[in-house]
């Protein structure tokens, strides 16, 4: 039996299914930061903050998710210069998520002048790390070799789906991530993930420029 949190997330996804057609055809330009509202803060922090609004458009959802990934990827590159990354540590032991053991979010954020709201930056990096951990858990369970556009160890399509339920996903315990991966693989969301992969990948490339 699935934990209540996983069941709730899957139910929330079901309610978002009507957004998939529009979401699937989001132009890559929708992932680019608008030139407003972020004079004094890293634009990714501003975009993720928008995910707290009650009503969110598809482009807001995808920018929030991609911004979290971007922050996490930069943090991971910074970590890699010193050895093991947070993503690798969590994949080895999901229980290590408690207490942020072996994480250096604060040190990283404090070393940068880009982040004005240091607390939000730490929190949002952690969101992105969680997405990356889930991506690897999911891709290890799905056969991706038949899909030339999907490299082993990656699956932006499934992350695109989870961007629809950004807040529900971030509240999920790390221990539940393998169960969520199995639930998605056993549902229609597996097909949605495959179809979304290319468009989300293009958006992420535009987002990084």
pLDDT of 20: 79
**What DSSP element (H or E) covers 19?**
none
The model's pLDDT over 102-144, given as tens digits with 9 standing for 90+, comes to 689 999 999 998 899 999 999 999 999 999 999 999 998 886 5
Closest CA to 150 of 187, 103, 105, 200: 200
On the question of pLDDT at 148 being above 50, the answer is no
**Where are the domains positioned within the chain?**
4-21+45-208
The model's pLDDT over 15-32, given as tens digits with 9 standing for 90+, comes to 988 887 766 655 555 544
pTM, full prediction: 0.87
Closest CA to 48 of 113, 138, 108, 127: 127
Q: Report the Cα–Cα distance between both ends of the chain, in Å, rounded.
A: 43
The model's pLDDT over 168-178, given as tens digits with 9 standing for 90+, comes to 999 999 999 99
> What CA–CA distance (Å, rounded) separates 64 from 41?
15
pLDDT of 145: 42
Residue 199 confidence class, pLDDT cut points 50, 70, 90: confident
Mean pLDDT of 52-71: 84
């Amino acid at each position: 039996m699935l934990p209540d949190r996983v069941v709730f997330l899957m139910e929330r996804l079901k309610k978002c299914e009507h957004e998939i057609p529009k979401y699937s055809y989001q132009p890559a330009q929708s992932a680019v930061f608008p030139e407003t509202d972020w004079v004094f803060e890293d634009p990714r922090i501003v975009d993720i903050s928008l995910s707290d609004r009650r009503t969110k458009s598809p482009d807001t959802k995808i920018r929030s998710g991609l911004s979290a990934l971007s922050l996490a990827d930069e943090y991971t590159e910074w970590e890699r210069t010193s050895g093991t990354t947070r993503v690798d540590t969590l994949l080895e032991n999901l229980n290590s998520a408690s207490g942020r053991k072996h994480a250096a979010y604060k040190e990283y954020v404090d070393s940068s002048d880009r982040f004005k709201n240091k607390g939000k930056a730490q929190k949002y990096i952690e969101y992105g790390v969680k997405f990356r951990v889930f991506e690897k858990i999911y891709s290890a369970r799905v056969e991706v070799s038949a899909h030339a556009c999907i490299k082993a160890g990656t699956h932006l399509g499934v992350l695109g789906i989870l961007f629809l339920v950004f807040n529900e996903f971030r509240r999920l315990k790390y221990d539940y991530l393998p169960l969520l991966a199995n639930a998605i693989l056993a549902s229609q969301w597996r097909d949605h993930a495959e179809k979304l992969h290319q468009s989300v990948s293009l958006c992420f490339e535009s987002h990084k420029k």
